[in-house]
Amino acid sequence: MIERIADLWQITLDFLHSCGIARVSYHHFEANEALDVTISADGFPDDWVCHYIEDELYKVDPIPAFTRRVARPFMWTDTPQLAELTEQQEGYLKELSNWGIGNGLAMRVYGPGMRDGYVGLGFASDAPIPTAEQVVELQMACQLSHQRFCEITEQRRLEPFDLSPREREVLTWVARGKSNSVISQILNISRHTVDTHLRHVFSKLDVTDRTSAAIIGVGSSLIQREARLIT
């Protein structure tokens, strides 16, 4: 049984990569609120990921929202045929295309207490489009991973974590995808101090990496709820 978020994420990525998936985007919604979302990404250009978060493109991205309306997985490029798009949504899809990210598969995953999610699976340039049977396999794998994520983080919600206010601040910026050097500038403290706070956070949360710390922070409501990036 997988007990660590980082292990779950890596095992999921390994499987998806073996299926020809080059890029993975995972949005976890709290209580089904589309704007209260934690975002994990792998394989996308770093500049695009930062642009997506910093410029709040998740608020206009129509693909995750449309997975709530469509019972089956669908291709990103099919989005305009699923519903009438706003001007902002059309602009987003055009920008996505201009970045050369390519096509992919969009699907909804379901969890307890309306803790649903969205998974975007981007195809490698030389990978064939998955067959219907392969799509079902990918969907089942993503659903199982999401379910386990909900189970692990639900347990974390029940565990008390004694983080100081400054440690919570550092963890919040980590969850937003900021490096330690950038966090030191934001909080006006030394890089060494940020490193020390983060080591304390790792120790208190019993983790060894930034991804696990950030996800536990989100799942345990240790840090404020808004869009967050975890890479």
**CATH code of the domain covering residue 101:** 3.30.450.80
The answer on 180 and 150 residing in a single domain is no
Of 88, 145, 156, 92, residue with least CA distance to 119:
145
Q: What is the mean pLDDT of residues 48-58?
A: 84
Residue 141 C-beta-side C-alpha neighbours within 13 Å: 23
Give the whole-number percent of the chain exceeding pLDDT 70: 88
DSSP 8-state class, residue 74:
E
Structure tokens belonging to residue 119: 């998974």
**Comparison of pLDDT for 207 and 150, the residue scoring more:** 150
The answer on 92 and 196 residing in a single domain is no
Specify the pLDDT at position 135: 95
**Comparison of pLDDT for 50 and 98, the residue scoring more:** 98
Asked, for residue 229, whether it belongs to a domain, the answer is no
Asked, for residue 228, whether it belongs to a domain, the answer is no
Q: How confident is the model at residue 227 (pLDDT cuts 50, 70, 90)?
A: very low
Q: What is the mean pLDDT of residues 127-139?
A: 92
The answer on 192 and 101 residing in a single domain is no
- Structural domains counted in the chain: 2
Q: What is the mean pLDDT of residues 183-194?
A: 93
Q: What is the mean pLDDT of residues 57-70?
A: 90
The answer on 177 and 74 residing in a single domain is no
Q: What is the mean pLDDT of residues 44-57?
A: 85
Mean pLDDT, the chain, rounded, equals 86
